[in-house]
Amino acid sequence: MGTLGAIHPEAEPEMVRGAVRKGIHMVVSTASTKTSEQIMQACVDEQARLQNSSPTKLFYQYYIPVDRKKAIGLMHAAKRAGYKGLWITVDTPVLGKRTADRVLQAEEAMAVGLQEESTASWEAGDENTFAPAIGGRPASGQLSPHTTWEDLQWIRKEWDGPIVLKGIQCAEDAKLAYEYGCDGILLSNHGGRQMHTAPSSLMTLLEIRTYCPHVIGKLEIFLDGGLRDGSDVLKALCLGATAVGVGRPFMYALGAYGSQGVERCVDGEYSSS
């Protein structure tokens, strides 16, 4: 999850502290509120406080910038900081039509005046506007709409660690990920925000098991989205998943209780009380 500073002043480092104390792993977004170095330092400090008894590892969810030099620089920075894997986001070549974001954009335009708002282009033809939306506006230049399978070749030259593709939604792409030498795939529909009626991660996993079963056991398979209790986790593991990811419940817990909320969420104790 990105921009956690919108829900808690300590943002991603506070989430990390709770994760380390409970020994769970965390995928850190390119669109985080704090820098990748600050987030990793929070992990290192908390592990040192616990005398390195926590197995927690941080992975880097990578949005590929339009500028190749910036793209390489981001990877190198994540590697220097100590992130254990690169999780490349492939389900947002362009932003989906997110109704809530469009409503917010319109409200902001009316508040500041149409003349001032026109300076922030949202035209589909401007590649520099394809980016994660922050506060209803795009972060210019952060997301390339031109990413292809062949890009894995230059990415491999710059990143020698594990590579996971985030956002796989069909068996055919799972097969291609295996053939292109990826270490893993994350089945995700981006929280349902990219395309209406996108399949759930569990349904995609079932499709892979039915039509492309030979990749199971050869790729690490992770699921993200729609997993709300232990029975969902059990279904995913039985169908061949390596692990599952949970997002919004942890974000809500962070907003309400900080790192202690993250711990309570892991324990299943998080509630409105």
Which residue in 8, 25, 76, 190 is the catalytic one?
A: 190
> Quick one: three-class SS letters along the chain?
CCCHHHCCCCHHHHHHHHHHHHCCCEEEECCCCCCHHHHHHHHHHHHHHCCCCCCCCEEEEECCCCCHHHHHHHHHHHHHHCCCCEEEECCCCCCCCCHHHHHHHHHHHHHHCHHHHCCCCCCCCCHHHCCCEECCEECCCCCCCCCCCCHHHHHHHHCCCCEEEEEECCHHHHHHHHHCCCCEEEEECHHHCCCCCCCCHHHHHHHHHHHCHHHECCEEEEEECCCCCHHHHHHHHHCCCCEEECCHHHHHHHHHHCHHHHHHHHHCCCCCC
190 carries an active-site annotation: yes
Catalytic positions: 190
